[in-house]
Amino acid sequence: MRYPRDMVGYGPNPPQANWPDGAHVAVQFVLNYEEGGENNILHGDSGSEAFLADVVGAAPWPGLRHWNIESMYEYGARAGFWRLHRLFTERNLPLTIYGVATALMRAPNQLAAMQEAGWEIASHGYKWVEHKDMPPEVEREQIAEAVRLHTIATGSRPTGWYTGRCSLNTVDLVSEEGGFEYVSDTYDDDLPYWRVHQGRPQLIIPYTLSANDMRFVTASGFDNGEEYFQFLKDSFDCLYAEGKAGSPKMMSIGLHCRLVGQPGRVMGLQKFLDYIAGHDKVWVPTRIDIARHWAREHPYQAPTLIPSQLEKAEFVNKFGSIFEHSHWIAERAWSGELGPSNDTAIGLHFALRTQFRMASIEERFAVLRAHPDLASKLAAAKRLTEASAAEQASAGLDALTDDEREAFTRLNTAYVEKFGFPFIIAVKDNTKASILAAFETRLSNDAEEEFATACAQVERIALLRVEGLLG
C-alpha cells in the first residue's frame, strides 16, 4: 500500500500562470443550480432535503416532504436565480453554472437564460444528493446518466464536472468516464494541476468552500452580506498582491441561487463585483476558459521517475547506493509509508534518512565504515563506487600533489585509529583546503560528538546524491 494523499503540490515554486494580458489574478464565479435536483420523495428519494437551506438544525424526514425546505429551494429558482442573472448580465461578466442534470431538466426558462447569456454549463452530477456511501458501480451509472440528461437539456455534453457531495471514488470515476476538460471535486490548491488515474492525465481545477456562500447557512459562517464582502475582498487583496509580486493565482467563488440570491445577502456580492471592477489586470473567466488556458500553457508532461510507484527491485536498484554500500536502507524505505510527498528530492531523502536514523547504533556504524577513505588507495586504483569517485573528483581529490597525498594519508590513519571509521565529509560542499581544515578540527572531537558529525555528513552526502538523480 502507498499513502495516496498529495501533500506537496507545487511546493514553494508554483508555475507561472501566465493569465491573459498579464493578469495578477483570475477571479472565477460559479453559480450552483441545484433547485429541483435535491432530495425529495417526489424525485424517488427516501426522504426530504436538509442541506444548505435556511432551516437551523434541519434533518432529513424519511418518507416525507419538507414543505419549508422545498419552498427555500423554490425561492432559488423563482427569485434568486433571476436576481443573480441580472447582476452578472448587467456587468457582462462570465459565469460558470454547475448544473445538476435533473434540476436542469426542470428549469427550461432558467436554462434558456443561461444559454442566452453565453454562460458555461458544467455538470453538477445527476442529482444533488450525498454520494459518500454510494457503491462505485451505482455512482458510475449516475455519472453516465448525468452526461446523458445534460446533453439532452443543453444540446451538448458537459466538459466540466463537480459533484460536490462526492465520494472517495468520484474523481477517479469521472476521470474514467472521460470527455471532461476539468474536474473540480478538490479544494487543495490555488492553481489547476494534472492528476493521473490509470495512466490518463486529468486536469483538476480546485474549487472553494471558504469563499462559498454556503457559509451563510453553516456554523462560523457569514451573518450578513457585509461579512461576505469583507472575506471576498481580503481573499482578493491577498491573491492580487501575490500576483503583482510575480505569482498569479486563481480565486474561485461559489454561489447558490437560494442563498446569496436573497436580498439581504446579494449586496455583499454586488459590492465585491464593484470592488474588483476598480482594479486593472483582473481576469474574470469561466472555468472552461481556465482549463483551456492551462492546457495550452502547461500541457501535461509525464514525470520521468516517480519513486513511490516503483516496484521494490527497481527502487532498491536506483536508490540502494544513496547510502554507501547500504542497500538495506532503500529496502526499508520502500517497505515504509511512501507516497507523493516522497517523490521529490527532499521527500525521498527524508524517507531514506528516516530509515538511517531509525537504525541501530551498530547498523549506523556499519554505514560509516562502508565509506572509503578520502584520497585513499582505493581511489588511486579506481575502485570507488561511481558516486564516490565523482564526489572526490569534484574537489580535486583525484589529482593530489605528493605532499597533499601524504597529508591525507596521515590524517586518515589518525582519524580511523581514534574513531574506528573513515573520515566522512560532503566533498561537494568543500575544497581540498576546507577538507583538510575540517580533518584537523574534527580529530579533536570526542567519540560521541564525532559519531553525530559523521552521521550528519552521511545524510548530507545522501541528499546531494538524491538531488543528482531527481533534480
Q: Which positions are annotated as active-site residues?
A: 371
Rounded Cα distance between 353 and 458, Å, is 9
Beta strand segments in 223-306, E? 249-256, 282-283
* Backbone torsion region of residue 21, taken as left when φ is above 0, otherwise alpha when ψ lies between -120 and 50, otherwise beta: left
Quick count: other Cβ atoms within 10 Å of Cβ 169?
17
Q: Which cell is 285 given?
A: 473567466
**Alpha-carbon torsion, ordered 138, 140, 141, 147, to 10 deg:** 140
Q: Which of 425, 24, 458, 467 is nearest to 247 (CA)?
A: 24
Q: Which of 329, 321, 327 is nearest to 352 (CA)?
A: 329
Q: What are phi and psi of 196, to 5 degrees?
A: -100, 130
Q: Which cell is 26 given?
A: 483570475
Rounded Cα distance between 217 and 224, Å, is 11
Rounded Cα distance between 98 and 159, Å, is 11
Q: Which of 332, 328, 330, 323 is nearest to 369 (CA)?
A: 323
3-class state of residue 155 by DSSP:
coil
- Cβ-defined contacts of 450-457 (< 8 Å, 24+): 450/419, 451/364, 451/365, 451/368, 451/419, 454/368, 454/419, 454/421, 454/423, 454/424, 455/356, 455/364, 455/368, 457/424, 457/425, 457/426
Rounded Cα distance between 41 and 61, Å, is 10
3-class state of residue 118 by DSSP:
coil
